[in-house]
Chain A
């Protein structure tokens, strides 16, 4: 399912919640909405799902425009996990799942299969009131994937999930991506989802501040790459050091560890200067014991983007 959100504007009274946001959701991609609390992530998802009426703009699904969000027919293909979902706490997990299965025209057996998939088979007969936050989140995840939807919308899906729950979430994201389905995730915890995102949309105060692949955003921000070079402490180090400084490619700091007869050079340089700097290290007579390139994390990129617009 190819979805385009075009010039979405939403106003809650005097507050401009979304100010003309446009973005494309492509099949086979995990798109991640990222931004601080109140940035408008849930509202944007609400517009897509038809839960929030946009004052302006439209949702275009496979080329067909829908000014009021996904129409009923398209919602058959939708799976949605709201943020911090609760469910009726006097019902069992199985009863909850069976209700949503029945509402989607699916069998009870399918509900049981999904309960097993999200690791709740053992707890399925227990009332939801006895579930931990992570278990409720798993139940919500199960409800979202129940009908194998072509469009999966997950609002803060990592909340409350333990390591095992996170693994399940990563599996689901990978499965949806490989099946060429569309996924939209919102999060404020970018570090967790960094390796699973294909397309990032950075929101702040209802505006889209940046979007693109993680690599493109890294390039756009141009945060420095750090290279740590551990060298045998001999005369050649001085030569390398002076050559690096003379090249003007990077800032260099030196750590001396005489007890191990090592010196560590810490090079901070622009991403496009990395190869040149490595060539200088390679050419020199210094004995490299260990070399590590540290790229900035997506959360560093995000923080820079947010700081830039603040």
Chain B
């Protein structure tokens, strides 16, 4: 899948991202808050682990997309701004492979970040509750992978790092904070005429919603959805897998297309 240049680029990206100040700051925040929640859950004698893991899910829903967008937003535009994109593309490598290698290198950095947060949280918890928390790792990585893909697409579509960063922050607010509010507003505006199926679909069309609702059902069972006001079942495993694949592959494809079509030098 990856040639010599691609493999070297994966390692290079991992090395570079693990030294990036903003990635370290957001990761440290995630690790601290996850550890703090676990510590609180332990001291509050959360015997069933019914509070800690769902709280970690909520935290991950907010912070993992942020880590991923911070990781991905400058993948291509950063190279363009420091005049190394041409240098990179002048190596014997296809443009699509450059994008994929950058994505994979940054995905490895994301694994370290997510692993750090959930790992610390698991270490702090009572040993008996660790399994539930560790079961969050693969879906949380999927959530990060989807937003990393979105960030990478932004980096290929923009011409300036500042634009990419602004776009990433706006998208984070829209998808993580305001999306649910938007659905709520639509419900209010239509006086509840919006069907439960439509609401369920809308929730799961957003990767953050797909993750949160899926994990809450996984941890607390179907009644957790009723608490959220949803009385219908979520998409099955097959459809969920399709949605995750779409959220990861579609933005990457758009990014690859943009990198392929754009001129690497315009001077």
Contacts and interface: CB of A to CB of B under 8 A. Distances in A.
A47 to B, nearest CB: 9
Contacts of A99: 8-9, 11-12
A85 B16 contact: no
A103 B82 contact: no
Given A75-B91, A76-B92, A105-B4, A49 B19 contact: no
Interface in A72-127: 72-73, 75-76, 78, 80-91, 95, 99-100, 102-105
B48 interface: no
A42 B265 contact: yes
Interface stretch (A50-58, A59-67, A232-240, A288-296): A50-58
A285 to B, nearest CB: 60
B263 A51 contact: yes
A115 to B, nearest CB: 17
B43 interface: no
A103 B5 contact: yes
Given A51-B89, A51-B90, A90 B20 contact: yes
A138 to B, nearest CB: 15
B19 A103 contact: no
Interface in B90-118: 90-94
A80 B4 contact: no
Nearest to A89: B82
A51 B264 contact: yes
Interface residues of A, number: 38
Nearest to B94: A72
B231 interface: no
A51 B85 CA distance: 9
B90 A78 contact: yes
A75 B90 contact: yes
Contacts of B8: 99, 102-103
Contacts of A43: 265-267
A102 B89 contact: no
Q: Chain A CB within 10 Å — which of B5, B9, B12, B86 has the most? A: B86
Interface of A: 12, 38, 41-43, 45-46, 49-53, 72-73, 75-76, 78, 80-91, 95, 99-100, 102-105, 140, 143
For the complex of A and B, list the 3 residue pairs with the smallest distance between their C-beta atoms, beginning with the closest.
A86-B82, A46-B265, A42-B267
Given A90-B20, A90-B21, 18 more contacts: A38-B267, A43-B265, A43-B267, A46-B263, A46-B264, A46-B267, A51-B90, A52-B265, A75-B92, A82-B265, A84-B83, A87-B82, A88-B82, A88-B84, A99-B8, A99-B9, A103-B8, A105-B4
7 contacts: A46-B265, A83-B83, A84-B83, A85-B84, A88-B82, A99-B12, A140-B87
